[in-house]
Structure 1
């Protein structure tokens, strides 16, 4: 076993405090490589090359590949913009469908797809590092569920949909389907597929119908 392989196999030390101000380029490079080749194929050499940094520099800051990946995931930007003291506030268009579709912006889909690729890339590591799974869930899943919950409650408050609908269940459908496609079908959801889910599953579930013509969205 080579020195690099041995280091890469070491368990990550979670929960350390670190000043990431000098490390962001390296962490971003680690996420890019992880999304492209997966954790098992990824090497510190690949990250160093992508970040245009010396491998020794990386090992002075992270003792193993696993430790580098954990730090990179922990610093990964959330796919939704943060407002109101860090809480994402979904668009308010006046209708449930309008709000749901407005959340599916092309850039948000692109960023989310990258994050899903990262999750696929690190899937083999999740069973060994539960905290990594928790970090990914906090970054990728919970904000989306919360945004769906907010727009559902708005629709209830304006009497657009019944107050007895299962908000918690319906709020998880979109994020759950995205995760399913990523983890089991190895495909990131497109904007069109998300809107199709909204129109054919979520809206009928709350007693609404999608417009007949949605080509301009």
Structure 2
């Protein structure tokens, strides 16, 4: 039975599963601020307003807590069926540029940047981290670009997979390596000066 479907118990007493979301969100907040090395269970417990013992009963180690938090982070993205359909690729991508989505994406990049020391030693986390970070964003762009190709707005031989990575990768670079905020002007410039010319 998958971990998320199991009811965690301790000493015969049922734990409150509704607390998991708050604790995992607090974990992501702390990771974004101090990274994996600087993160302590006490910091997460304080942020989530939970007892340290409560966290250890759910997740016996910091590593297990972080892995579940990162996995959950990758499950919060907009599904393909919820993507905008304005009739043009530019309109579709611009419609995705909403303040709350940009802030969430910025947090994801900061979380993954803070996991560098852990990624090297944990075989399965790197893939989960990449999927949680920009994987869903790439998938969304792939759908929108393929839609543009199908309706004749973009050239038929466009490398959809390659171009779908363009905006997410450059945005992650801006946040993680340049330390700059992800803003609408930057994203619109990527669309108008890089993505659309590459598709013509």
**TM-score, normalised by the number of residues in structure 2:** 0.85
Q: Is the CA contact (8 Å cut-off) linking 1:48 and 1:58 kept in structure 2?
A: yes
Distance (Å, rounded) in 1 between the aligned partners of 2:172 and 2:187: 12
Q: Structure 1, residues 179-207: CA drift from partner, whole Å, max 9, x if none? A: 22233223342222111111111111122
The aligned residue for residue 135 of structure 1 is 128
Gaps of 5+ in 2: 7-16
Of 177, 185, 195, the match for 1:192: 185
User: CA contact under 8 A between 1:178 and 1:189: conserved in structure 2?
Assistant: yes
Aligned residue in 2 for 1:54: 51
TM-score normalized by the length of structure 1: 0.79
Superposition deviation, residue 136 in structure 1:
2.0
- What secondary structure is seen at the aligned counterpart in 2 of 1:53? coil
Q: Distance in 1 between matches of 2:73 and 2:138?
A: 18
Distance 1:76 1:169 in 2: 24
- The correspondence of residues 69-108 of structure 1 with structure 2, limited to 5 A, is 69-76=66-73, 78=75, 80-82=77-79, 87-108=80-101
Aligned length: 189
1:180 aligns with 2:173: yes
Say which of 103, 108, 111 aligns to 2:104.
111
* Cα distance, 1:81 vs structure 2: 2.1
Shift of 1:138: 2.1
Deviations 1:85-130 (A, max 9, x none): xx45421111121111111122111111111111112122111113
Cα-to-partner distance string for 1:11-54 (whole Å, 9 max, x where unaligned) = xxxxx724454422211111111111111111111111111111
Structure 1 residue 151 corresponds to structure 2 residue 137: no
Shift of 1:79: 5.1
| Alignment partners' CA distance in 2, 1:96 and 1:142 | 19
Answer yes or no: is the 8 Å Cα contact 2:27–2:44 preserved in 1. Answer: yes
